[in-house]
A and B are shown apart, each in its own frame.
Chain A
Amino acid sequence: MTARTLSKRGDLAEAASVVVIAAAFVVPWLSQNPMVYSLANQMLIAITAAFSVYIMLRMNLMTFAVPTFMAIGGYTVAILGLRHGVTDVLLLGLASFVVPALFALPLGALVLRLTGVYFVLVTFVLTEITQLLLFETPGWTGGSNGLVGMPAVTLFGLELADNRAVLQVTIGLALAGAIVTAAVTRTLRQHFAAIEENELLAQSLGLVVWHYKAFGFAIAAGVSGLAGFALVNMLLTAHPTSFSALSSVNYIAYAIIGGKSSMLGPVVGGALLIWAGDVFALRGEYSQFLFGFLIVVVVLVAREGVVGTIHRLGVRVFSPPSPSRSSTVASSPTLSVPNAMEPLQ
C-alpha cells in the first residue's frame, strides 16, 4: 500500500517535471528579453545537471563527478563541430549523451565499488583530475584556452544561431535529460529503492546490484553530458573554467535544496538557486555570502528541501488525515533520506 502510493507520487512528480520543462518552450514566444533567455538557459542547464545528481541519489550515492561528464559531453560536441564539421543538433545531442555514458562504464568499474563518503570523495578527485587533464592535453582540448569558434548547430540544415534558437536547443536538451531521468528512475524505482535501503540485502535477495549501479551511473553521466552540450552551445566555447571542481557543489545544492526525494526537487532547486545567484551577483562581493546564507536558511527551515517541505505542509493543511494519506506522509521523508554518508567506525 505505502509503496504503491509512494510510486504513484513519484510518477506524478516525474510527469510534472517533464511537463514543466516542456512548458519552457513558451518562453521564447513570450519574451525577447536577453536576461530572461539567459536565466532560462542557466536554469535549464542547472536542472539537467542536477538530474544527474538526482539519479545517483536514487542509489544512495552522492556524486561530485557531474562537471567531469559535462566536460566530456561539452568537449565532444566542440571537437565534433570544430574538427569534423558535425553540426546536426540531433547527432551532437546523441554524441553528448553516449560518449560520457561510455566513459562512465570503465570509470564506474573503478569507483562504484565504493560506497558512502568514499564515493563522494573519489568523485571529487575525479573532477580535479578532469581540470588537470584538460590543461595537459592542449592538442585535443585547447588546453587552458579551451575551444572557441565552433560552427552553429543545425536542425535539418536549418541554422540555430540566434538567441531564441540557442534557448530552444537548451530546452530540447533539458527535455531529453528529463525524459531519460524520468524513464530510468520510474522503470527502476523498485531496484533503486532496494539498493538505497540496503544494498547487501538486495544483493542477497538476488538483485544483481552491480548491473543497476553501472547502468544508473552511465545514464547519469549521459544526462550530465547533455547539460555540458547545452552549456557549450550557449557560450560558444568549451572552456575549462566552465567545468571547475567546485561547480559540482552547486549541482548537488540544486538537488538537495530543491528536495532530493522527488524529481521536482532538482527542477525547483535549480530554478530557485540560479535565480537567486543572478540576483545576488548584483551585490558584488556580498554575492557569495548571500548564497551561503540562503543555503543555510533553507536547510534549517525546510529539512526535506523546498519540494518536500511544501508537500508535507500542503498535505497537512489541505487534506483531512485519512489513513492512506498519513502513511504516505509519514513514510516519505524517512524513506527518502539517503544515508549517503555512513560513518565508518
Chain B
Amino acid sequence: MSTTRRNLLLSGIAVGAALASSNVSVMAAGQELTLGVVGVLSGPAAQWGLALRGAVELVAAEANRDGLIKVDGAPCKVNVVAIDSKYTAEGAAAAANTLAGQGVKFIIGPIGSPELTGVKPIAKRNSMLVMGNGYAKDALSPQLPLVFHMGPGPSGWAEPIIKIAKQKFGMKSVVLVAPNDQGGTDIASVDADAYKRTGITASEEYYQRGTTNFAPIVTRIMNAKPDAVDLASSPPGDAGIIVKQLRQAGFEGPIGRLGGPGYTEISRVAGGDEVLKDFYWYEPVLIDEKVQLIADEYKKLLGAERPENNLFFQWVSAARMVTKAIAKAGTISDTAKVAEALRSLPVEDPNIGPGHWIGQDFFGINQELSFPFGVGLVEKGKLQPTIRVEAAGGK
C-alpha cells in the first residue's frame, strides 16, 4: 500500500518539477532578445540544421557587435536557443512549444516541410514570427501572416535553371530520382512540371529513404534510356552514389540536381568532377568574393569554420532580415509590428545583393524572400563559374 502511494507521489513530483522548471524559464526572458532555432540537428538531415544554427549564431553575434537591437534606446543583447526538431512534425512542434514556454517570439527555421507543418499551428497560437523553409505547396498562406519563407521553392528557380541546362546540353527527356517522402516528392514533382513546361519529357522515380546501394535503381533508369537524370532533393550522400553508379553503368548524359546545395559533397562521394562530367545544380546563393566574406566573418566572430552546407548563406540573409526588422520596429515582443516592418523593408543583403518579396501567385501572400541565385555547372569534368540568375521576381 505504502509503496504505491510512494510511486504516485513520485509521478506527481515529476510532473511538478516539469511545471516548476518551465515557469522559471519564463521569468528569465527579461530585456534580451532570443532568436529560437528549430532545426534538425541529429540523424541523416543534421547538416541542414547545423548550417541553420551556425547562420543564426553568426547573425546574433553581428547584431551584438553592432548594437543593432535597441529597445527604448537601451541596447538589447541577442541570444540564440537552438532545439533539435528531429525532422518530424512532432519534434518541431515540441521545439516550438518549448520556445513559446521560454517566451521566445521569433523562430528561424525549421527546414523541412513536415517540420514546418508542426511549427505553424503553435506559432499561430502563440503569435510567434517564423522565418522558415520547406518546399511544401502550402508552406505559406494568407491565414498565417506571421510565417515567412527564407527562399523560394523549386517553383521559383527550377525553370530558369532548366532553360540554361537545355541550352547547354540539349536533352529531350529526363528521369527525376528522389526519396519517397515529403522531402523528395515536394521537390521532384514541381521540378518535373518545370521540365515538362520547357518541352522535356519527365518521369519520376522514387526510392526508399535509407537505400544505400543504388545499383538496382540505376539499372532501372538505364532501362528507361533518358537523355538526362535529375537527382532533385536526394540527399548529397545518396546523390553522390547515384552519380557514381550511373557513370559506372555507362550513362553519358548530363545529370542535374534541382533540389538544394551539396555540390562539394556530391563530387566528393562520386569521386571527383571527372565523374560528374556534365552536371548542373541549383545554388541558393551565388558564392562570390563578397559572399565569401560571410565565412571570414563567421571565423572571426565565432572562432570556427562555417558549416559546410551552403544553405548557411541563405539562412544568414534571412536571419539578417529578421534582426533588421526587429531593429526597425523597435520591439522585441510585438511580432505583428515586426512582421509589418519586415514586409516594408527593402530586401537587400550587404553580401548577397538585392532581392524582393514574392509568393502572391503561388501562396496568395507576398512573404517569400527572393535573392539572386546561382546555377552551378560542371562541363566535361571541369567546374565552371557559377551563372548568376537574378532573383525570381514578379510573383
Binding site for B on A (CB under 8 A): 9, 12-13, 15-16, 19-20, 23-24, 27, 30-31, 33-40, 42-43, 132, 135, 143-146, 148, 162-163, 231, 234-237, 239-242, 244, 262, 264, 267-268, 271-272, 275, 278, 280-285, 287-288, 307, 310-311, 314-315, 318-319
On whether A271 and B11 interact (CB within 8 A), knowing A9-B4, A34-B100, the answer reads yes
> Is B181 among interface residues, defined by CB-CB distance under 8 A?
yes
List residues of chain B with CB within 8 A of the CB of A39.
18, 22, 97
C-alpha gap A340/B352 in the complex (Å): 60
> Is B184 among interface residues, defined by CB-CB distance under 8 A?
yes
> Is B237 among interface residues, defined by CB-CB distance under 8 A?
no
C-alpha gap A314/B136 in the complex (Å): 53
List residues of chain A with CB within 8 A of the CB of B180.
132, 135, 144
List residues of chain A with CB within 8 A of the CB of B43.
288
List residues of chain B with CB within 8 A of the CB of A19.
8
| Smallest CB separation, B103 vs chain A (Å) | 9
Tell whether, in the assembled complex, residue B185 and residue A144 are in contact, meaning their CB atoms are under 8 Å apart: yes
| Smallest CB separation, A318 vs chain B (Å) | 7
List residues of chain A with CB within 8 A of the CB of B186.
144-145
C-alpha gap A36/B23 in the complex (Å): 9
List residues of chain B with CB within 8 A of the CB of A310.
3, 6-7, 10
Tell whether, in the assembled complex, residue B185 and residue A16 are in contact, meaning their CB atoms are under 8 Å apart: no
Top 5 closest A-B pairs, CB basis? A35-B101, A38-B97, A34-B100, A284-B41, A12-B4
Tell whether, in the assembled complex, residue A237 and residue B81 are in contact, meaning their CB atoms are under 8 Å apart: no
On whether A242 and B26 interact (CB within 8 A), knowing A145-B186, A235-B121, the answer reads no
| Smallest CB separation, A14 vs chain B (Å) | 10
C-alpha gap A280/B91 in the complex (Å): 12
Contact pick for B14, options A31, A35, A271, CB 8 Å: A271
Tell whether, in the assembled complex, residue B42 and residue A288 are in contact, meaning their CB atoms are under 8 Å apart: yes
Q: Please provide the chain B residues from 26 to 72 with a CB less than 8 Å away from any CB of chain A in the complex.
A: 26, 41-43, 46, 49-50, 53
Where chain B touches its partner, the secondary structure class is helix
Tell whether, in the assembled complex, residue B114 and residue A31 are in contact, meaning their CB atoms are under 8 Å apart: no
List residues of chain B with CB within 8 A of the CB of A163.
125
List residues of chain B with CB within 8 A of the CB of A143.
185
Tell whether, in the assembled complex, residue A235 and residue B7 are in contact, meaning their CB atoms are under 8 Å apart: no
Tell whether, in the assembled complex, residue B7 and residue A307 are in contact, meaning their CB atoms are under 8 Å apart: yes
> Can you name the residue of chain A whose Cβ is closest to the Cβ of B88?
A241
Contact pick for A236, options B7, B12, B121, B206, CB 8 Å: B121
Contact pick for A132, options B6, B50, B184, B208, CB 8 Å: B208
> Is B19 among interface residues, defined by CB-CB distance under 8 A?
yes
List residues of chain A with CB within 8 A of the CB of B206.
135
Tell whether, in the assembled complex, residue B23 and residue A33 are in contact, meaning their CB atoms are under 8 Å apart: yes
Tell whether, in the assembled complex, residue B100 and residue A16 are in contact, meaning their CB atoms are under 8 Å apart: no
Contact pick for B10, options A13, A33, A268, CB 8 Å: A268
Tell whether, in the assembled complex, residue A35 and residue B88 are in contact, meaning their CB atoms are under 8 Å apart: no
Binding site for A on B (CB under 8 A): 1-8, 10-12, 14-15, 18-19, 22-23, 25-26, 41-43, 46, 49-50, 53, 81-91, 93-95, 97-98, 100-102, 113-114, 117-118, 121-122, 125-126, 136, 138, 180-182, 184-186, 206, 208
C-alpha gap A284/B95 in the complex (Å): 11
On whether A231 and B90 interact (CB within 8 A), knowing A144-B181, A278-B98, A285-B42, the answer reads yes
> Can you name the residue of chain B whose Cβ is closest to the Cβ of A13?
B4
Where chain A touches its partner, the secondary structure class is helix
On whether A30 and B90 interact (CB within 8 A), knowing A35-B101, A239-B117, the answer reads no
Tell whether, in the assembled complex, residue A31 and residue B95 are in contact, meaning their CB atoms are under 8 Å apart: no
Contact pick for A235, options B15, B87, B93, CB 8 Å: B93
Tell whether, in the assembled complex, residue B185 and residue A33 are in contact, meaning their CB atoms are under 8 Å apart: no
Tell whether, in the assembled complex, residue A16 and residue B14 are in contact, meaning their CB atoms are under 8 Å apart: no
On whether A145 and B15 interact (CB within 8 A), knowing A35-B97, A282-B81, A284-B84, the answer reads no
C-alpha gap A7/B53 in the complex (Å): 52
On whether A36 and B117 interact (CB within 8 A), knowing A271-B11, A287-B41, the answer reads no
Contact pick for A33, options B6, B26, B90, B121, CB 8 Å: B26
List residues of chain A with CB within 8 A of the CB of B184.
144
| Smallest CB separation, B229 vs chain A (Å) | 21
C-alpha gap A315/B5 in the complex (Å): 12
List residues of chain A with CB within 8 A of the CB of B125.
34, 162-163
Tell whether, in the assembled complex, residue A35 and residue B98 are in contact, meaning their CB atoms are under 8 Å apart: yes
A-B contact pairs, 28 of them (CB 8 A): A13-B4, A13-B7, A16-B7, A30-B19, A31-B19, A34-B100, A34-B126, A35-B101, A36-B22, A36-B101, A38-B97, A40-B15, A43-B15, A144-B182, A144-B184, A145-B136, A235-B93, A237-B117, A241-B89, A242-B88, A262-B7, A268-B7, A281-B84, A281-B94, A284-B42, A284-B82, A288-B42, A310-B6
C-alpha gap A239/B86 in the complex (Å): 14
List residues of chain A with CB within 8 A of the CB of B89.
146, 235, 237, 239, 241-242
List residues of chain B with CB within 8 A of the CB of A15.
4
Tell whether, in the assembled complex, residue A278 and residue B117 are in contact, meaning their CB atoms are under 8 Å apart: no
> Can you name the residue of chain B whose Cβ is closest to the Cβ of A283?
B84
Q: Which of A241, A268, A314 has the most CB of B within 10 A?
A: A241
List residues of chain A with CB within 8 A of the CB of B46.
285
C-alpha gap A307/B25 in the complex (Å): 29
C-alpha gap A280/B26 in the complex (Å): 19
